[in-house]
């Protein structure tokens, strides 16, 4: 399988034969994921390359995120290492909209989706800059910087703020969870 995208209907029909890797944060993964998906957050992908290569040797890989942007980045990164993978068109958001089942582990901690975390953080920073700018006009540069970052994010289809937020403790996998996922991919 080369670096391609599968529509949710195609992926659903082949779900039993695909190894699904969800590259969202653990909190997003816990809020609902494709049945049988393994969670390897995008920023931990390099650590998992050996296990992913072994899994790819046994069958096709499907990489998934919320919208398809992070899974496309992951597919490109794997392709650089000679590992073929497909991304899910529209991500889990599209999967859910089409009525396909998702798995929500009982008792799992669910964090906000990364997009929602970014909106909250960006809004709070802009508001802080505007309020603080009433007393210290230079503080308005904070709002301008966030606005510039949002424009850059839209133009490049990347998000530096999401990368920073992904490093927060609630968005990080426990070492034992990631180790167990890597072991499951190798078995």
* Segment 151-175, tens digit of pLDDT: 999 998 888 998 899 888 878 767 6
Cβ(106)–Cβ(84) under 8 Å? no
Query: Do 56 and 77 have their domain in common?
Result: yes
Query: Do 21 and 101 have their domain in common?
Result: yes
User: How many angstroms separate the Cα of 24 from the Cα of each of 50, 137, 139?
Assistant: 19, 38, 33
Query: Do 24 and 70 have their domain in common?
Result: yes
* Average pLDDT of the residues in 84-95: 95
Query: How many structural domains are present in the chain?
Result: 2
DSSP-based three-state secondary structure for 104: coil
**Distance in angstroms (rounded) separating the CA atoms of residues 184 and 171:** 21
Mean pLDDT of the chain: 91
The predicted structure's pLDDT at residue 2: 46
Query: Do 106 and 17 have their domain in common?
Result: yes
Query: Do 55 and 72 have their domain in common?
Result: yes
Cβ burial 166-177 (10 Å sphere, 16+ → b, else e): beeeebbbeeee
The predicted structure's pLDDT at residue 137: 95
The predicted structure's pLDDT at residue 110: 62
Rounded to two decimals, what is the model's pTM?
Answer: 0.74
Q: In the chain, pLDDT over 70 holds for what percent of residues?
A: 94
Query: Do 118 and 58 have their domain in common?
Result: no
Q: In the chain, pLDDT over 90 holds for what percent of residues?
A: 71
pLDDT tens profile 4-57? 899 999 999 999 999 999 999 888 898 889 999 999 999 999 999 999 999 999
* Average pLDDT of the residues in 48-76: 95
Cα dihedral 16, 19, 22, 26 sign: positive
The predicted structure's pLDDT at residue 108: 60
Query: Do 84 and 17 have their domain in common?
Result: yes
Query: Do 12 and 96 have their domain in common?
Result: yes
**Distance in angstroms (rounded) separating the CA atoms of residues 72 and 87:** 6
Lowest mean pLDDT among 29-43, 109-123, 140-154: 109-123
Query: Do 9 and 100 have their domain in common?
Result: yes
The predicted structure's pLDDT at residue 1: 45
Query: Do 73 and 90 have their domain in common?
Result: yes
CATH of the domain at 99: 3.40.250.10
Cβ(22)–Cβ(34) under 8 Å? yes
Domain span at residue 139 reads 114-165
């Amino acid at each position: 399988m080369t670096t391609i995208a599968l529509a949710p209907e195609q992926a659903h029909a082949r779900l039993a034969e695909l190894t699904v890797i969800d590259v969202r944060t653990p909190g997003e993964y816990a809020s609902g994921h494709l049945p049988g998906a393994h969670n390897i957050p995008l920023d931990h992908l390099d650590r998992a390359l050996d296990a992913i290569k072994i899994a790819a040797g046994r069958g096709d890989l499907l990489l998934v995120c919320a919208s398809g942007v992070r899974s496309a980045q992951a597919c490109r990164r794997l392709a650089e290492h000679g590992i073929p993978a497909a991304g899910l068109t529209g991500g889990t958001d599209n999967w859910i909209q089409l009525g396909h089942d998702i798995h929500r582990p009982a008792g799992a901690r669910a964090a906000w989706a990364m997009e929602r975390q970014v909106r909250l953080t960006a809004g709070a920073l802009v508001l802080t800059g505007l309020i603080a700018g009433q007393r210290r006009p230079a503080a308005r540069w904070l709002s301008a910087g966030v606005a510039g970052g949002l424009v850059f994010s839209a133009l490049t289809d990347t998000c530096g703020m999401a990368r920073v937020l992904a490093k927060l403790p609630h968005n990080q996998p426990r070492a034992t969870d990631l180790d167990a996922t890597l072991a499951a991919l190798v078995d």
